[in-house]
Every structure is written in structure tokens, then in C-alpha cells.
Structure 1
Amino acid sequence: MTVWDRLVGQRHTIDSLRKAVAGHGMNHSWLFTGPPGSGRSNAAVAFAAALQCEQGGCGECHACHTVLNDSHADVAVIRTQKLSIGVDEVRELVRRAALSPMGERWQILVVEDADRLTEQACNALLKAIEEPTDRTVWMLCAPTVEDVLPTIRSRCRLVTLSTPTAAEVEEFLVGQGAEATSAAYAARASQSHIGRARALAFDDAVRARRQDVVAIPARLRSLASCMTAATRLAEVTRAEADEITTALDAKEKADLDASYGVVEKGRRPKEYAPALRELEKNQKTRAKRRHLDMVDRGLMDLISVYRDAIALQTGAESELVNAEVRADVAEIARASTPELNLRRIGWIFAAREQMLEFNVPVALALESMMVSLKVPESAHV
């Protein structure tokens, strides 16, 4: 299995990157763009592995394994858990970019979520991209080219990924060991979002939480049910976020204690308190972002229900994303119009913007949204 097998439905991209590895069209700065779930960061890491591999990405050698496992000495990947990537993080990467690689090939720096770079961070990064060393390669990942400053993207070679088809995602999941029925469901329910599909195919708890979310629209028949649904969605997404962050927080705290000798010495050096405060601040920021990410995922699942209702109402010849709750979708379609469901989708996006862009409290935004989505009184049986 080569490193390119990690990329689902990206044949054109793979061909282009393989040519670059072979020396045709190689560049010192790259911008990987594509919709959520298209695998843009996977493409960047696979490209990095291929550049470090003597065979162009065999997937079996030491170089490939270390890059794919984030342990290669000459490949740095910055994955922020914060709401933004600050200038201090970028300056450290710029410092590293100026060094010669320890091996005989490339010094590679991959920045996931480059759209989260602050203005200062962008300015620090720009100079490094403008004047790269001979053996340094920058790889930036962002949803669209518009999410990156024009001065930066103009210096990068663009790699555009597309959303794979459900059939391609299903085939990939089966290759990863998923049962055929689980793979088919996951590919459809994730709307070809590869990371989400993998979680749905292999994690029963993730599937149960999604089923809970897509059942919400049919229940919104009173003000009380709207408040209950908002509370439930906030709690479910918080629990999912906590599952991810709690263990990581504990490990980081243990590592901090060990680095300051708190465990062995039984005392706390004066430098420990400010370090602990900084750690707790970063963990709080990360927890907030993770919760918002989970809420955002839930909102996309809600949108898929109303999209299915519109498909039924307009007779669109496409498979329902939520075929397992077809009866609920049919009832929503019967009790509404396509225009109303389009407005409902707009209200969900408005709530999303309130939380992600304007920092409106999650509970408040969700309560307002659920009330807007409520089934009209005239439609009650």
C-alpha cells in the first residue's frame, strides 16, 4: 500500500504530485485546498512522505512510516487545537525552515488550517515563503484559496482536491476493514467526508449520536420540545468533545509535572505556576474549539435532513442522505414547502455563523435556531 492510497477519489491530484516528486513542476511552496473531508491534509502528508522516500512514496520504507506517523526528523506538521494559529507558532516553524535538513532530501513544513493564521502569523510566514532555502518545502492547507492572503497564495502552487463520491468512500472503508453495510451507511451519512465516514463506520457511539441528531427535526412540535432539543444537542456535542480532550488534557498535565520535577520532588518550582496557567488557558481554548467543531458537525447533519425533504418535495432523483429515517423526512416534506425548508437551512447557517464568527453562546444560538425550525402549528396532526 503506497502513500497515495490514503487519498480517496483524487486521481488527478495524485498524478500531478507524483510528477512533482519526480522533479517535474516541483515548487518550494504549495497550497492544498478542498472542501471539508476531501483529505487536503492527508494529501499534503502523503506528498511529504513521497518527497522523503527514495521510491517516491512506497508506503513501506522507514521514511514513509516516520512521515505518516509524525516522527520524521525533517517533516513538521502544525495542527492547531486553538481558534487560531499565532505568530509564535509560525516563528518557530520559520526558524526551523532556515535549517538544513538532517537527512539528504527535504526540510518540509506542513500547516494544516492555514486559514486560521492570524495577521501577524501571515506576515511572519510570508517572508519565509518569499525567500525559501534550497531544500525547504512549505505546504499550506485551507478550504479555499480565498481563505489565504493573496500575497501568500500567489507564491504557492495550487493543488485543488474534490469531494470523493460515496462509492469511492465506501470502497475505501471496506479496504480499511469495515463491513459492507456499515461502509455504505457511513459513506452516505457522512456525505463523502472521509474522516467522518471512518468514524461512522467503526465507532458505534458516533453512529448513535448522529442518529440522535437527525431525529431532532421531526420532534420540534412545541416550544418545550425546541428547548429540549437545543439542550440535548449542546450536551451530546459537549460529551463528544470531552471524550477527545479529557485524555489529552491529562497527558499534557502529567508531562508538565514531570518536566518541572513535581512528581519526583513533591514541590513546585516558581516557574511551574505560570507554565500551568498557560497550559490551562490553551486547554480551555482547545476545548472550546473542539465543542464548536462538534456542534458544527451536528448542524451539518440537521441540514442534511432538510435537504432530503427538499429532494422528496421536488422529485429529485438522488439517494437520501438519511435513508434510515425516511419516514421522518417524508413527514417533514408533507408538512412544509421547499421554500420553507430552504429558509430552515438558512437559519441553521445563521446560527452557525453566530457561534463561529460572533462568539454567541452555543446554548443561546441553538435555542433560537430550534424555535425557528419548529413545525408550523397548522401542520400538527
Structure 2
Amino acid sequence: MTAADLAPQPGTDAPWTEAPWTEAWGQPEAVERLRAAASDPAQLAHAWLITGPPGSGRSTLASAFAAALIADPGNEAAMRQVLAGTHPDLTVLRTEGVIISIRDARALVERSAFAPSLGRYRVIVMEDADRMSERTSNVLLKALEEPPERTVWILCAPSDADLLPTIRSRVRTLRLREPGIDAVARLLVARTGVDPQLAERCARHAQRHIGMAQRLATDERARARRDETLTAALGVRGVGDAVEVAGRIVQLATDDAKALTAERDEAERSALLRTLGIADGAAVPHAVRGQLSALEEEQKRRATRSLRDGIDRVLTDLESMYRDTLMLQFGRRDGLINRELAAELAALAGMWTPARTLTVLDRIRATRANLEQNAAPALALESLLITVVSGRIP
């Protein structure tokens, strides 16, 4: 969900004074607290940390809060600018790489020192603040501790535990609650017009992650890739299978990442060439090749992160499958995420012991940690699937 999604849709009656909050559904307590802070300086902290599980609407709420802070009530033009991300008093860092670089953090700090040019406040939004290293976090400390009077920082992360204690001590934390599957399904129906049954299935498979649920609902290939991944994992019977399936999963994640980034990459390249006055298909002059190379390097970093995120989604899907298996082993059939695989998972639950299922779940968590330390995805998945086959840590 992007800032542009927050604007009132054609045919709706939402007034622009309410527009920032219309899409921050399912978080009434958070909305009320931020609305009060935006209208009352006595309740406004200079730095905020919005936490919540993936898909809970952290970025959406941060955008809404920024709009309420910057635009005067009733100023439709300013609010449109903020929601579109083009207002001069709004700076948003959306991480395109695997981590937030020190250079990016320093640029935010420099930007935060400027007084607002048009709006009531200058707002700095850092999405994925959990992707900061310790050195990068230290760059922010002084700015968070003593920002200019009319500058407000908004950090977003899954949990406050993902940030250093020194950062946590300088922000006011707002914890979001996870939306229910039925609520996400209703949102999908309203937003995309998909069949309610498909919406419920996608909300369930996405485990209430709004963005992923919307992608599954609107992209049949994404649904097919997920189904193929789980079916392949269930079919692993030996070491040879583990190696083959690990390679297939990495390829599926790579295809998924390419599908997400290819169109955007080409559009960015074409836009840059147009800006430089180079016609489509024309040779690129040597003098501007450096700019094109810089763009390509940035796109490679983004592709690396997209692949890492894709592998992480695969692990989340596998985790949901073996979590369902454990529930069946304890006689629980309600709340299954992968109902469509109930028969296969029931058979697996009968063959395995709960201890073995827990070993696999522990191995999935260890695999995720290894990938965060730059382990090769194929090798990490091979090791995981060998544990699935053997029930032991290799």
C-alpha cells in the first residue's frame, strides 16, 4: 500500500479533512492517538516509531500522519501533495537495498535540519528502520535526540526490538494490531472486486499481510508459484529431492522478483534516457554512461533485496504449512492457513512426531537468520529441506 492509495477514490464522499485516515482501517486506537498528536502540539513527540507485523499498515499510517502534520486542515492541495509523496516538506526513505546505508541516513539527517518551507512541519519518514546497522543507527541518534522544533521523525519497523535501545529511548512507540483475515478479505473485495472466496483464501495465505494478499488476489501467477512451492516441499523424499527442490524454489523466487522489478526497471531507464534527451534505440553517449551505470547498480541492489524478500516469503509459506501440521498433530483443525492442503498435511501429521515438526520449524527460523547473514539461498534451502527429510539438523 502506497501513499497514493490513501487519497479518496472517485465516487467516494470522504472529505479531504478526513482523507489521511480513510485507509488506516483496523487501527482505531492508533488513528485516534496520531490524530490528537497532529492537532495538539502538547501531545506531539518529535520522533515516533510505528511497529506492527508485516501488512498491518505501518507505512499507510505513517503517510496519513505525515499528511495531517504537514497540511493545514482543509488544505486540499497540500494534502494531495503529501499523499502523492511530492510535498517539499516530506522526505520518505523506502529501502531499495538489503540494508539502509550510512549515506542514506546522513542525507535524512541533513534534510531534517531544514525548517518547513510550506507546511506546518517537516516530516522525515523512514520505512524499514529495522534494516539499519548499528553504525547507521548511530548516525540518527543526535538528530532524534535534538531535532529542530518543527521537524518530526516517523520510523517504521516490525518490532521495537528490531532497533537499538539507544534509538528506542529517543522515540515514542506506537504498536499496531494485526488485522483479521475477514477484514483483509473485505478490503480486497472492495479494492479489487475479486470474488469473496478468493479474497478470503488470499488473505489467509498471506497471513493477513495486506500488500501480499492484494498481490495474490490480483496475480494468478503469484498464486501458482506459491502453490508450486508448497507442493514441491511436500514431495521431498531424499537428499536428491532436497537439492532439486531447493534449486526450483530459488528459481521461482527469482522469477517472482523479476516480475516485480522488470517493468519498473525498464520504465526508470526509459525515463532517464528521455530526461537526457536520448531517443529510444539511440546509442548512449559516453558522457552520460555513468548516470546509466549508477541507475543499473541501484536496480541490481533492489533486485537483490527483492530476491531476499521473495525467499523470506517462501520461508513464511513453509512455516505456515508446518505450523498447520503441528496443529493437526494436536487435534486442532480450526485456524488452518493452508486448508486446501488439509488432506496432505493430515497424512504428514500422522507420519511425523510433534518433536520432528518442531525441529523443522526451528530450522526454518535458523535458515532465515542464516540468509540475513548473506548465506547462499540455494545452500540454505538445501540444508532446510534435508532437515525436512531426516528430521535432524544437518
Same fold (TM > 0.5)? yes
Q: For 2:275 and 2:188, how far apart are their aligned partners in 1?
A: 41
Instruction: Say which SS state the counterpart of residue 141 (structure 1) adopts.
Output: strand
> Counterpart of 1:250?
266
Per-residue deviation, 1:221:
1.8
Residue of structure 2 in register with 1:17 after alignment: 34
Match among 88, 93, 114 for residue 73 of structure 1: 88
1:264-283 superposed Cα distances (whole Å, 9 cap, x missing partner): 9956355x454444433332
CA distance in 1 between counterparts of 2:218 and 2:339 reads 19
CA distance in 2, matches of 1:278, 1:118: 23
Q: Distance in 2 between matches of 1:297 and 1:8?
A: 24
Equivalent residue, structure 1, for 2:306 = 290
Q: Report if aligned partners of 2:56, 2:177 keep a CA contact under 8 Å in 1.
A: yes
Instruction: Give the Å deviation of 1:22.
Output: 2.0
TM-score (norm 1): 0.90
The answer to whether residue 304 in structure 2 is matched with residue 308 in structure 1 is no
* 1:138 positional shift: 0.7
1:167 aligns with 2:169: no
Q: Which amino acid aligns with 1:370?
A: L
Taking the aligned partners of 1:371 and 1:119, their CA distance within structure 2 comes to: 34
Q: Is the 8 A contact 2:144 2:170 kept in 1?
A: yes
1:197-253 CA-partner distances (Å, limit 9, x unpaired):
111222211111111122233211233332221121111100010112222333333
In the alignment, is the contact (CA less than 8 A) between 1:36 and 1:193 conserved in 2? Answer: yes
Deviation at 1:148, TM superposition (A): 1.9
Identify the residue that residue 42 of structure 1 maps to in structure 2. Answer: 60
Listed as ranges, the matches of 1:140-289 within 5 Å are 140-176=155-191, 177-258=193-274, 263=279, 268-270=285-287, 272-289=288-305
**C-alpha distance in structure 2 between counterparts of 1:273 and 1:217, whole Å:** 44
- In structure 2, the CA distance between the partners of 1:212 and 1:65, relative to structure 1 (3 Å rule), is farther
CA drift at 1:292: 0.9
Counterpart residue identity of residue 230, structure 1: A
Q: Which one of 84, 90, 107 corresponds to residue 99 of structure 2?
A: 84
Does the 8 Å contact 1:221/1:375 carry over to 2? Answer: no
CA RMSD of aligned residues (A): 2.3
Question: Are 1:318 and 2:346 matched, yes or no?
Answer: no
Once the two structures are aligned, what percentage of the paired residues are identical? 39
**Aligned in 2, Cα 1:261/1:188: closer, same or farther, shift over 3 Å?**
same
CA contact (8 A) 2:58 2:176 kept: yes
Q: Show structure 2 runs of 5+ residues with no match.
A: 1-13
Distance 1:100 1:269, change over 3 A: farther
Quick one: which of 10, 23, 28 aligns to 1:6? Answer: 23
Gaps of 5+ in 1: 377-381
State how far apart, in whole Å, the 1-side matches of 2:375 and 2:119 are. Answer: 50
Report if the CA contact (8 A) 1:8-1:168 is conserved.
no
Q: Which has the higher contact order (CA 8 A, sep 6+)?
A: 1
Query: Who is 2:8 aligned against?
Result: none
Q: What is the number of equivalent residue pairs in this alignment?
A: 371
**Whole-angstrom CA distance in 2 between matches of 1:215 and 1:266:** 47
Query: In the alignment, is the contact (CA less than 8 A) between 2:37 and 2:43 conserved in 1?
Result: yes
- 1:374 counterpart SS class: helix
Structure 2 CA distance for partners of 1:220 and 1:137, relative to 1, 3 Å: same
| Contact 1:113 1:141 (C-alpha < 8 Å) held by counterparts | yes
1:49-93 alpha-carbon deviations (Å, 9 max, x no partner) = 2223433xx8x9333332222222221111011111112212222
Aligned equivalents of 2:132, 2:323: Cα separation in 1? 33
Task: Give 1:114 shift.
Answer: 1.0
Partner of 2:3: none
